[in-house]
C-alpha cells in the first residue's frame, strides 16, 4: 500500500479506465469506433510573476503546497510515479510525467468520484520574461463536472498560488 492506501495495481486499473477498449461484441458487419463526443475538457492559461522553476517547486513540494493552501494536509512524492494527497485527502493521484521546471502531468481524482476513476491534469510552465505562463489542461473527468472543476482550479490553485508567490 502507498501512503494514500492506493496500490500500484489499483492505480493502473484506474488509469486504464481512461482509455476505452474496443470489443469484439459488435454485430457482424458493423463497427463502433467507440468515439465519444460527450467528453469535457478544461483549458486554462494563467500568468504568474515568478519563474517556472519556482511554480514547479510550489506545486510539488508538500510543505510549500500546504502553506499555499492555508495549511491543509498535503503529501506529495515529487518523483514520477509518486503518489500525492492534497487538500486533506480530498484530491489524490500520482505523478505521471515530470520535467523539472517545465511540465507536470498527474493522474488526478476527487474523493467523491467512483473508485478507480482518474483524470489527467497537465501543467505546462512557459517562461515569459521574469514570469511564467501556465498552460493547464484537464481531461477525463466525469461529464457534468467541468464547471465545478474549472472554478476549483481558479479558487484552490491559481488564486492561492498568485497570493503565495507575491
pLDDT tens digits along 73-115 = 999 999 999 999 999 999 999 999 999 999 999 999 999 999 9
Q: In the β-sheet with 91-99, what is the strand arrangement from edge to edge?
A: 41-48, 131-139, 119-128, 103-110, 91-99, 83-86, 75-76
Q: Look up the domain containing 12 and give its range.
A: 8-16+40-165
Instruction: Output the average pLDDT for the chain.
Output: 87
Banded pLDDT at 2 (limits 50, 70, 90): very low
Rounded CA gap, 38 and 135, in Å? 23
Q: For residue 24, tell me if it sits in a domain.
A: no
pLDDT at position 24 is 45
Q: For residue 35, tell me if it sits in a domain.
A: no
pLDDT at position 98 is 98
Tens-digit pLDDT profile for residues 43-54: 999 999 999 999
Q: For residue 117, tell me if it sits in a domain.
A: yes
Mean pLDDT of 53-57: 97
Residue 7 Cα distances to 12, 27, 93, angstroms: 9, 37, 11
pLDDT at position 38 is 76
The residues near 60 (Cβ < 8 Å, ≥ 6 apart) are 76, 78, 95, 98, 104
130-156 burial code (b ≥16 CB/10 A, e <16): ebbebebebebbbeebeeebbebbeeb
Nearest to 117 by CA among 40, 34, 10: 10
Q: For residue 70, tell me if it sits in a domain.
A: yes
The CATH number of whichever domain residue 140 belongs to comes to 3.30.530.20
Q: For residue 141, tell me if it sits in a domain.
A: yes
Rounded CA gap, 145 and 137, in Å? 14
Tens-digit pLDDT profile for residues 103-160: 999 999 999 999 999 999 999 999 999 999 999 999 999 999 999 999 999 999 999 9
pLDDT at position 41 is 94
Q: For residue 61, tell me if it sits in a domain.
A: yes
pTM of the model: 0.79
Amino acid at each position: 500500500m502507498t501512503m494514500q492506501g492506493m496500490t500500484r495495481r489499483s492505480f493502473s486499473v484506474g488509469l486504464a479506465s481512461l482509455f476505452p477498449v474496443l470489443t469484439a461484441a459488435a454485430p457482424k458487419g458493423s463497427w463502433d469506433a467507440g468515439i465519444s463526443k460527450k467528453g469535457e475538457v478544461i483549458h486554462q492559461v494563467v500568468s504568474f510573476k515568478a519563474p517556472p522553476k519556482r511554480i514547479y517547486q510550489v506545486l510539488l513540494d508538500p510543505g510549500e503546497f500546504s502553506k499555499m493552501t492555508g495549511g491543509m494536509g498535503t503529501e506529495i512524492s515529487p518523483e514520477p510515479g509518486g503518489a500525492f494527497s492534497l487538500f486533506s485527502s480530498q484530491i489524490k493521484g500520482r505523478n505521471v510525467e515530470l520535467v523539472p521546471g517545465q511540465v507536470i502531468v498527474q493522474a488526478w481524482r476527487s474523493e467523491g468520484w467512483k473508485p478507480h476513476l482518474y483524470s489527467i491534469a497537465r501543467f505546462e510552465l512557459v517562461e515569459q520574461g521574469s514570469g511564467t505562463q501556465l498552460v493547464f489542461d484537464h481531461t477525463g473527468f466525469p461529464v457534468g463536472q467541468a464547471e465545478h472543476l474549472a472554478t476549483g482550479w481558479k479558487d484552490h490553485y491559481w488564486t492561492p498560488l498568485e497570493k503565495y508567490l507575491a
